[in-house]
Amino acid sequence: MRQMISRLEKTTALDAVSDRLQSAVQAVARPKRLRDLLHGTWLGHPLHPVLVQVPVGAFMSAAVLDALPGQRKAATTLIAVGTAAAAPAIAAGWVDWSSLSRDQRRIGLIHATANAVALGLYAGSLVARSSGRWGRGRLLAYAGLSVAGGGAYLGGHLSYEQGAGMNVAAPEKLRLPADWAEVGEVASLPEGRPTVRTIDGVRVLLYRVGDDVTAMVEQCGHQGGPLGEGEIEGSGADACVVCPWHGSTFRLTDGVVQHGPAAGDQPTLRTRIRDGVLSIATP
Ligand code: FES
């Protein structure tokens, strides 16, 4: 299985289709509000894995009921609920997929294809059940569950092996000192624009306005983009940094994500100024 997945990750034959689909999804989901809604930026957590709980739960429960006598109607209702609930999960999944790297998109494409096949099998099961062919309906539903299981395996690989949807900045913060570490003279920091210093091998983004300095992990939580090369939007307590790779926007004072594709906040650090020297520490 591992060898097969590793081959799929390198299958460049999928790239032409993947690139065209990516442009199409980005064109459809152009409004920022729609993208933020589907990424889960408002939730502080990717929305896709939350939404898939409904169809997965409904299909699993239907599989149990299909194995019991006298539960045909209940199983059919659950399959109908699962099939309908797949629509928002699919929409969120495609929007997340459209901002992934190429190798992640290859696995994502196969994950989506497997789930589309599974959904087709469940739709076929509903049609069969509606015309009284319960045996066929049950077989199609079990086939759908098997294919969906393969799709879920690939989704797990995408998240836990390839890091899609993870906050990649979180492990960086753990490498920073819990005790105060000196960064240097505050006066040496440029005013009103981001600058980067390396502390214990971790790049830290500093932003100074007068004697106020904010600090956050410089590697963007979405896919590791260089926030130090990002634009600053807004001013004062609302000033934000915009990631140059995919446009995730984080408030500098507290790292709260304002726009996706990042769904989680950017880790920030405590700052302290003594005798004109800036120090940072993890919260
Ligand atoms: S790396 Fe994707 S938004 Fe920053």
Q: What is the pLDDT of residues 168-221, one digit of tens each?
A: 999 998 888 889 999 999 989 998 889 999 998 999 999 998 889 999 999 999
Q: What is the pLDDT of residue 126?
A: 98
> 206 and 195 in contact (C-beta within 8 Å)?
yes
- Residue type at 174 in one-letter notation: L
The upper half-sphere exposure of residue 267, i.e. CA atoms within 13 Å in the direction of its Cβ, equals 23
Q: Is the pLDDT score of 78 beyond 90?
A: yes
Pocket of ligand 1 (CB under 6 A): 220, 222-225, 243, 245-248, 261-262
Same domain, 53 and 154: yes
What is the domain-level CATH number for residue 182?
2.102.10.10
Task: Write the pLDDT tens digit of every residue in 207-256.
Answer: 998 889 999 999 999 999 999 999 999 988 889 999 999 999 999 999 99
User: Do 114 and 21 belong to one domain?
Assistant: yes
Give the 3-state secondary structure of residue 245.
coil
Q: What is the distance between the alpha carbons of residues 144 and 138, in angstroms, rounded to a whole number?
A: 10
Same domain, 201 and 150: no
State how many domains the chain has: 2
CA of 222 to the centre of ligand 1 (A): 5
Task: Give pLDDT tens digits for 102-161.
Answer: 999 999 999 999 999 999 999 999 999 999 999 999 999 999 999 999 999 999 999 999
Domain-terminating residue out of 99, 133, 161: 161
Give the domain-ending residue among 131, 161, 191.
161
Nearest-angstrom CA–CA distance, 69 and 131: 19
Counting Cβ atoms within 10 Å, is residue 152 exposed (0-12), middle (13-18) or buried (19+)? middle
142 and 90 in a single domain? The answer is yes
Residue from 243, 257, 258 whose mutation best tests the ligand 1 pocket (most atoms within 8 A of CB):
243
The reply to whether 105 and 200 lie within a common domain is no
User: What is the distance between the alpha carbons of residues 54 and 78, in angstroms, rounded to a whole number?
Assistant: 10
- Mark whether 12 and 145 lie in a shared domain: yes
Tell me, what amino acid is at 99? S
Q: Are residues 151 and 70 in the same domain?
A: yes
Do 109 and 211 have their domain in common?
no
Which domain, by its residues, includes 139?
2-161
pLDDT in the model for residue 31: 93
Residue of 246, 250, 266 to test ligand 1 pocket, by largest number of atoms within 8 Å of CB? 246
In this structure, are residues 257 and 265 in contact, taking their beta carbons and an 8 Å threshold?
A: yes
Q: What is the mean pLDDT of the chain?
A: 94
